[in-house]
Structure 1
Amino acid sequence: MSVRCQVTGKKPGYGNQVSHSNHRTRRRWLPNVQRHRYWLPSEGRWIRLRVSAKGMKTIEKRGIEAVVSQLRARGERI
Protein backbone atom coordinates (compact mmCIF):
# COMPACT_ATOMS: atom_id res chain seq x y z
CA MET A 1 0.00 0.00 0.00
CA SER A 2 1.38 3.38 -0.96
CA VAL A 3 2.12 6.09 1.58
CA ARG A 4 -0.30 8.68 0.20
CA CYS A 5 -2.92 10.90 1.82
CA GLN A 6 -6.39 10.39 0.33
CA VAL A 7 -7.48 13.96 1.11
CA THR A 8 -4.48 16.14 0.22
CA GLY A 9 -2.60 13.76 -2.09
CA LYS A 10 0.65 14.15 -0.14
CA LYS A 11 3.24 11.50 -1.00
CA PRO A 12 6.92 10.94 -0.18
CA GLY A 13 9.45 13.59 -1.10
CA TYR A 14 12.84 12.54 -2.48
CA GLY A 15 16.27 14.06 -2.13
CA ASN A 16 19.77 13.63 -0.76
CA GLN A 17 20.96 13.05 2.77
CA VAL A 18 24.12 15.11 3.09
CA SER A 19 26.68 14.06 5.70
CA HIS A 20 29.19 16.26 7.49
CA SER A 21 31.81 15.30 4.86
CA ASN A 22 29.31 16.30 2.13
CA HIS A 23 28.78 12.65 1.09
CA ARG A 24 25.35 12.37 -0.56
CA THR A 25 23.01 9.39 -0.46
CA ARG A 26 19.41 9.19 -1.65
CA ARG A 27 16.64 9.32 0.93
CA ARG A 28 12.95 10.05 1.15
CA TRP A 29 10.74 12.04 3.48
CA LEU A 30 7.52 10.21 4.36
CA PRO A 31 4.31 12.15 5.06
CA ASN A 32 2.61 11.67 8.43
CA VAL A 33 -0.11 9.33 7.10
CA GLN A 34 -2.41 7.52 9.51
CA ARG A 35 -5.54 5.40 9.26
CA HIS A 36 -8.49 7.23 10.81
CA ARG A 37 -12.17 6.35 11.16
CA TYR A 38 -14.79 9.01 10.53
CA TRP A 39 -18.54 8.82 11.12
CA LEU A 40 -20.50 9.65 7.97
CA PRO A 41 -23.93 10.82 9.25
CA SER A 42 -25.62 10.91 5.83
CA GLU A 43 -24.96 7.19 5.29
CA GLY A 44 -25.08 6.17 8.95
CA ARG A 45 -21.76 4.33 8.82
CA TRP A 46 -18.07 4.62 9.64
CA ILE A 47 -15.54 5.14 6.85
CA ARG A 48 -11.82 4.55 7.14
CA LEU A 49 -9.40 6.94 5.41
CA ARG A 50 -5.61 7.14 5.12
CA VAL A 51 -5.01 10.81 5.91
CA SER A 52 -2.05 12.97 6.79
CA ALA A 53 -2.07 15.39 9.72
CA LYS A 54 -2.87 18.21 7.29
CA GLY A 55 -5.67 16.10 5.81
CA MET A 56 -7.20 15.75 9.30
CA LYS A 57 -7.09 19.54 9.69
CA THR A 58 -8.78 19.91 6.31
CA ILE A 59 -11.58 17.55 7.38
CA GLU A 60 -12.01 19.49 10.63
CA LYS A 61 -12.25 22.76 8.70
CA ARG A 62 -14.51 21.75 5.77
CA GLY A 63 -16.41 18.83 7.29
CA ILE A 64 -16.35 15.14 6.45
CA GLU A 65 -19.39 15.35 4.13
CA ALA A 66 -17.74 17.95 1.86
CA VAL A 67 -14.44 16.08 1.78
CA VAL A 68 -16.11 12.74 0.96
CA SER A 69 -18.12 14.29 -1.87
CA GLN A 70 -14.90 15.76 -3.28
CA LEU A 71 -13.16 12.36 -3.03
CA ARG A 72 -16.03 10.66 -4.85
CA ALA A 73 -16.02 13.33 -7.58
CA ARG A 74 -12.32 12.58 -8.05
CA GLY A 75 -13.19 8.89 -8.49
CA GLU A 76 -11.70 7.61 -5.24
CA ARG A 77 -13.34 4.54 -3.72
CA ILE A 78 -14.56 4.92 -0.12
Structure 2
Amino acid sequence: MSKQCQILGTHASTGNRVSHSHRKTKRTFSPNLQTKRYWAPSLGRTITLTVSAKGMKTIDRIGIEAALARIRRNQNVNR
Protein backbone atom coordinates (compact mmCIF):
# COMPACT_ATOMS: atom_id res chain seq x y z
CA MET A 1 0.00 0.00 0.00
CA SER A 2 1.50 3.31 -1.03
CA LYS A 3 1.47 6.27 1.33
CA GLN A 4 -0.70 8.37 -0.97
CA CYS A 5 -4.41 9.23 -1.06
CA GLN A 6 -6.06 8.08 -4.28
CA ILE A 7 -8.50 11.01 -4.30
CA LEU A 8 -6.44 14.02 -3.24
CA GLY A 9 -2.91 12.78 -3.92
CA THR A 10 -1.84 13.65 -0.38
CA HIS A 11 1.47 11.97 0.39
CA ALA A 12 4.07 11.76 3.14
CA SER A 13 6.06 14.93 3.70
CA THR A 14 9.29 15.56 5.56
CA GLY A 15 10.27 17.92 8.30
CA ASN A 16 12.36 18.16 11.42
CA ARG A 17 11.95 16.47 14.76
CA VAL A 18 12.99 19.12 17.29
CA SER A 19 14.20 18.05 20.71
CA HIS A 20 14.06 20.06 23.92
CA SER A 21 17.58 21.32 23.20
CA HIS A 22 16.48 22.26 19.65
CA ARG A 23 18.58 19.63 17.89
CA LYS A 24 16.93 18.87 14.59
CA THR A 25 16.71 15.47 12.92
CA LYS A 26 14.73 14.49 9.86
CA ARG A 27 11.31 12.83 10.19
CA THR A 28 8.30 12.08 7.99
CA PHE A 29 4.72 13.23 8.43
CA SER A 30 2.40 10.46 7.23
CA PRO A 31 -1.13 11.27 6.06
CA ASN A 32 -4.10 9.73 7.87
CA LEU A 33 -4.75 6.97 5.31
CA GLN A 34 -7.61 4.52 5.63
CA THR A 35 -8.68 1.59 3.46
CA LYS A 36 -12.36 2.10 2.66
CA ARG A 37 -14.85 0.14 0.56
CA TYR A 38 -17.42 2.05 -1.49
CA TRP A 39 -20.36 0.79 -3.53
CA ALA A 40 -20.13 2.00 -7.13
CA PRO A 41 -23.60 1.78 -8.72
CA SER A 42 -22.27 2.37 -12.24
CA LEU A 43 -19.88 -0.58 -11.91
CA GLY A 44 -22.35 -2.72 -9.94
CA ARG A 45 -19.72 -3.71 -7.36
CA THR A 46 -17.73 -2.45 -4.42
CA ILE A 47 -14.33 -0.85 -4.87
CA THR A 48 -11.59 -0.50 -2.28
CA LEU A 49 -9.81 2.83 -2.06
CA THR A 50 -6.90 4.08 0.02
CA VAL A 51 -8.04 7.53 1.07
CA SER A 52 -7.16 10.08 3.70
CA ALA A 53 -9.73 11.32 6.21
CA LYS A 54 -10.09 14.52 4.17
CA GLY A 55 -10.48 12.39 1.03
CA MET A 56 -13.43 10.59 2.66
CA LYS A 57 -15.08 13.94 3.31
CA THR A 58 -14.46 14.90 -0.31
CA ILE A 59 -16.16 11.69 -1.51
CA ASP A 60 -19.12 12.39 0.78
CA ARG A 61 -19.39 15.90 -0.66
CA ILE A 62 -18.97 15.23 -4.42
CA GLY A 63 -20.19 11.62 -4.56
CA ILE A 64 -18.44 8.38 -5.44
CA GLU A 65 -19.12 8.66 -9.20
CA ALA A 66 -17.41 12.06 -9.45
CA ALA A 67 -14.56 10.79 -7.28
CA LEU A 68 -14.02 7.80 -9.60
CA ALA A 69 -14.02 10.15 -12.59
CA ARG A 70 -11.37 12.28 -10.83
CA ILE A 71 -9.22 9.19 -10.19
CA ARG A 72 -9.46 8.13 -13.85
CA ARG A 73 -8.61 11.64 -15.05
CA ASN A 74 -5.56 11.82 -12.76
CA GLN A 75 -4.32 8.42 -13.95
CA ASN A 76 -4.56 9.52 -17.60
CA VAL A 77 -2.67 12.76 -16.89
CA ASN A 78 0.16 10.95 -15.08
CA ARG A 79 0.78 8.54 -17.95
TM-score (norm 1): 0.92
Runs of at least 4 residues off by over 6 Å: none
2:75 matched to which residue of 1? 75
Percent identity, please: 51
2:31 matched to which residue of 1? 31
Stretches of structure 1 lacking an aligned partner (at least 5 in a row): none
2:18 matched to which residue of 1? 18
Whole-Å separation in 2 of the counterparts to 1:73 and 1:64:
14
Whole-Å separation in 2 of the counterparts to 1:43 and 1:2:
24
CA shift for structure 1 position 70 = 1.3
Whole-Å separation in 1 of the counterparts to 2:61 and 2:30:
24
1:13-52 CA distance string (max 9 Å, x none) = 1011110111111101100001100000111100000000
Whole-Å separation in 2 of the counterparts to 1:70 and 1:10:
14
TM-score (norm 2): 0.90
Whole-Å separation in 1 of the counterparts to 2:38 and 2:2:
21
Whole-Å separation in 1 of the counterparts to 2:30 and 2:20:
23
AA aligned opposite 1:8: L
- The structure in which a higher percent of residues are helix is 2
Whole-Å separation in 1 of the counterparts to 2:35 and 2:27:
24
Aligned-residue CA RMSD (Å) = 1.1
Stretches of structure 2 lacking an aligned partner (at least 5 in a row): none
2:48 paired with 1:48: yes
AA aligned opposite 1:18: V
